Amino acid sequence: GRSVPEQVAVAGFDDSPVALRTTPQLTTMRQPFTRIAHEMVHMLLELVDGRPAGHLIMPTELVRRESA
């Protein structure tokens, strides 16, 4: 019984293709999946080589669409 975005804002995460097929289109956060995979492999190889585990904060991007 609520209308989006007039009465409630809706947002998703990962910017999956379905976000473009909803009505209204879904506002979402986008992550750099290719870079995430590359960095994960790099960190895993460092651990295998006996180096300490690192940490990394990856950038995200807000993709504004009609739902929020």
| Reported pTM | 0.72
Residue 15's identity, in one-letter code, is D
Per-residue pLDDT of the chain (68 residues; tens, 9 = 90+): 889 999 999 999 989 999 999 999 999 999 999 999 999 999 999 999 999 988 999 999 999 999 99
DSSP codes of every residue in 2-29:
--TTTT---EEES--GGGGTSSSPPEEE
Residue 43 has which token pair? 């960190």
Cis peptide before 24 (omega within 30 of 0): yes
3-state secondary structure of 30: strand
